[in-house]
A and B are shown apart, each in its own frame.
Chain A
Amino acid sequence: MLELTNLHARVVPEDGPAREIIKGLSLAVPAGEVHAVMGPNGAGKSTLSYVLTGKNGYEVTSGAATLDGENLLAMAPEARAAKGLFLSFQYPTEIAGVPVMTFVRAAMNAQRKTRGEPEVSAPEFLKLSKVAAAKLRIDPDMLKRPLNVGFSGGEKKRLEIYQMLMLEPRFMILDETDSGLDIDALKVVAEGVNALRGPGRGMLVITHYQRLLDYIKPDRVHILSAGRIVKSGGPELALALEKSGYDQFMKAS
């Protein structure tokens, strides 16, 4: 489903020299699987999520990234989204003046338009929203407020998963979704995420800690260090990391 081959990418800040962050990363997530990417600070975890979603200032210098065989790197961010690629942001942006529901409906319809599907009707949208909000225990009033403005860290993360449930993406990247969540919120969010697991979908769970993986059980775990995958294994790899830290793998890299 998602396939990254010998990917090299650099960050190009507006002021300052470009820095290579991803240095030959290869990874394949087959349909129906959930893979975790773990790594220390500065390993390139967030850069990877921005490179895959096409943020400005993140430049791929070589290698390939495909979703279902299609070249992701040639597409604009909105086209990637319409193909079903969704990023749950580590730090969701505040969007002043745009209520959550207005925004999500606009996003849903924009994606449908790109795919040549009819728009969602108002009653259908409200029904979907009600179900998603209930699942994540989101107060419906929150959905009328401007997106993320004045929301707590935990509320913002819940809202990311709410959008994920509404947009029903085919491939999800969860970037540090556990940060800012207390244990109860983490369980609610994980339930929401698990509800989207299925044979046609794939997921990349980027995390610093093993904790999230107790609730979102990965099929494979990869360790990212200095821009490359240095070790891959089953869920037991995450437990080993938790016990003895990243150092052992960083030395190996």
Chain B
Amino acid sequence: MQLADLPSRRTEAWKWSDLRAAMASQEATLIGTGPIGGDGPIAAFAELMGDAYAPATRVIAAPGETYETRMTEGDTGQYGSVVVKAGATAVLIERIAVSGSALRPILPSFSRIDVEPGATLHRVVVQQNDVADGLADAAIVLNEAVVKLGAGATFRQFVLGEGARLARIEVTVEAGEGAVVDLDGVYLASARRHVDLTSRVAHQAAGIHTQQLVRGVARKGGRGVFQGKFFVARAGQKADASMRHNALLLEEGAEIFAKPELEIYADDVACAHGNTAGQIDEDAIFYLRQRGIPDVDARAMITRAFLIEAVPEWMGDKLRGEIEARIDLWLGTGP
């Protein structure tokens, strides 16, 4: 794998997240030979650099099992697969933390996930960034999951993306008959951080319900990217799919790029998407200030409420509390 093989802004799926340019400034050596495989560059990186899960395939058969992975600077990457057996319920938490402790780290992780018929998987990806303000933020975070859902399976996912020099968190879902898909996310792009939430849901069979809500914010010099695609095959009749992405540009010089896409070949479906990027409602800010809440707190309160709507109930109080605390920290209202 060579620099020239990596996707760049000329590659449609990566046009806003130029991996080649970001990698070109890393001092890491690209090793290995041969082209990038069919799973794409994130899988190739993870396979090349990563330790396989031990065991390489994690089989979850017991109900209510939680499986947690953790990756920080110094780790080389993760590559593995997860099978949730028919009827089982599992929680998969992937934590990726950047703190600026290593120079120019690359953190790739790739999971192939199989949710068997009737099984349920809740997946939470927490990509946090604790690099102090003003320090160079050099990490490249690449996370991808390819998820296959059996008939009647449920897959719920929440992603928190705090960005890095370049952070891309990607998921591809191939849903079977009557499957339920929930894909929610929050991204927080502060100065010099780039965060990209990309997803694709393929409705290959009938009666699939898909719901997606992603909320993001960007400050001056920060860049947020949302790419969402719902593909409904001819066999995907009765699909009920809703995609929403809303972003707030908190300061001048913030950047949001969004590409919501619907590609539908079935004729009996209910698919909708809504996409907005704008500024905080100044009338709302004035209302809060008129009641005595200082300007900076009023903005934090409105922004927090906006983001928290995309933090789903199914995560439970503990995880929700953790995500809310991250949002508060980012907004400057945390402890």
Contact = CB atoms under 8 A, between A and B. Distances in A.
A96 B282 contact: no
B287 A114 contact: no
Contacts of A76: 289, 294-295
B54 interface: no
B291 interface: yes
23 contacts: A76-B295, A78-B293, A78-B298, A82-B292, A87-B290, A92-B287, A93-B287, A94-B284, A97-B304, A97-B305, A97-B306, A97-B309, A98-B301, A98-B302, A98-B305, A103-B288, A104-B291, A106-B293, A107-B288, A110-B291, A110-B293, A110-B294, A114-B292
A56 B308 CA distance: 28
A77 B305 contact: no
Contacts of A81: 289-292
A111 interface: yes
Given A56-B282, A76-B295, A110-B297, A95 B288 contact: yes
Nearest to A84: B292
A137 interface: no
Contacts of B330: none
Contacts of B294: 76, 78, 110
Q: Classify chain B's interface size.
A: 20 to 34
Contact of B281 (A87, A93, A98): A93
Interface of B: 281-284, 286-295, 297-298, 301-302, 304-306, 308-309
B178 to A, nearest CB: 32
Contacts of B291: 81, 86, 103-104, 107, 110-111, 163, 167
B298 to A, nearest CB: 8
Interface in A12-48: none
Interface of A: 53-56, 76-78, 80-82, 86-87, 89, 92-98, 103-104, 106-108, 110-111, 114, 146, 163, 167
Contact of B305 (A78, A92, A95, A108): A95
A89 B284 CA distance: 12
Nearest to A95: B284
Contacts, number: 77
A251 to B, nearest CB: 36
| Residue among B283, B284, B292, B294 with most chain A CB within 10 A | B292
A101 to B, nearest CB: 13
A77 B308 CA distance: 27
A134 B61 CA distance: 54
- 10 closest residue pairs by CB, A with B: A97-B305, A111-B292, A81-B292, A107-B291, A77-B289, A93-B287, A110-B292, A78-B289, A110-B293, A98-B305
A175 to B, nearest CB: 11
Contacts of B288: 95, 103, 107
Given A76-B295, A93-B283, A110-B297, A53 B305 contact: no
B311 to A, nearest CB: 11
Contact of B284 (A93, A104, A108, A111): A93
Contacts of B281: 93
A108 B293 CA distance: 9
A107 B291 CA distance: 6
Nearest to A112: B292
Contacts of B287: 89, 92-93, 95
| Residue among B282, B290, B298, B302 with most chain A CB within 10 A | B290
Nearest to A81: B292
Nearest to A88: B290
Contacts of A95: 284, 287-288, 302, 305
Contacts of B293: 78, 106-107, 110
Nearest to A173: B290
B309 A96 contact: yes
Contacts of A110: 291-294, 297
Nearest to A97: B305
Nearest to B293: A110
Contacts of A55: 286, 290
A167 B286 contact: no
